Amino acid sequence: MHATPPLRISGLTPLTTIDFPGRIAAVVWLRGCALRCVYCHNADLQNPSSTARDPSWESLVRFFERRRGFLDGVVFSGGEPLLQSALPDAVTALRDLGFETALHTAGPCPGRLIRILPHLDWVGFDVKAPFEEYESITQIPKSGENARESLVVLQRSDTPFEVRTTIDPNLMDMAMVMRMAAQLQKMGLSRWVLQEATGKRLPVGLEDRIAPLFDHLEIRKASEARPDTPPPRPESGRYPPRGARAA
């Protein structure tokens, strides 16, 4: 079984209960990212080129063959999984093995998202900032336009999804978060997840101001947050450490 051209895999989290709602899953971390978020803590993963230490697709398939009956699903995360043209084949291959499939994305490729959505059981969608202010976080001009289009694609699909935003008060003040909240509410979003950045607390009073705008507002502590990069790869040994979770 092959996904062609080969999927460029940075690592595997063999067991997680928090990255694919309601499922016991593994997370496959994929290489390459179109954004350069100022808070990204794994610049290594932004590099699309494989390294000699990266797991092969074949080893990944062997892992999942051994986990049939123990895992419900697989999460493709990154980096940005949608950048890899081998992703649809990989999703299909693991579905054929009996696994449900989920995607973590920041939505840089709306066309690719449209095509892969029918083959996904869930999407975790990261919104970085008010769409017209994306560059302040991602450092990529006009990156908000594709993200907005991808969110519309998700809203029009039948695939369940979650929209979440990591709030770093040093990068996003109360006014900026409120602009984002108003924008998402206007787009018809009823549920929003706010995640604390590592080592940071949400601005005092933010939750009370935002909660009335949504049917459901979830606050995730940094310890519970789903960052969109794995922990840095250790200098040596197995990656990730056995039992590590994708958070």
Question: Given the rule CB under 6 A, which residues bind ligand SF4?
Answer: 33, 35-37, 40, 45-46, 78-80, 106, 228-229
Which alpha helices (DSSP H) does 77-232 contain, by range? 87-96, 110-116, 135-138, 143-156, 174-186, 206-210
Per DSSP, what are the bridge partners of residue 120? Answer: none
Q: How far apart are the C-alpha atoms of 209 and 241, rounded to whole Å?
A: 40
In terms of CB distance, is 150 or 229 closer to ligand SF4?
A: 229
In terms of CB distance, is 45 or 120 closer to ligand SF4?
A: 45
In terms of CB distance, is 36 or 62 closer to ligand SF4?
A: 36
Helix (H, G, I), strand (E, B) or coil at 225: coil
Q: How far apart are the C-alpha atoms of 115 and 234, rounded to whole Å?
A: 35
Shortest Å, Cβ 153 to ligand SF4: 18
In terms of CB distance, is 67 or 110 closer to ligand SF4?
A: 110
Shortest Å, Cβ 92 to ligand SF4: 24
Shortest Å, Cβ 194 to ligand SF4: 16
Shortest Å, Cβ 133 to ligand SF4: 15
End-to-end Cα separation, the chain, in angstroms = 29
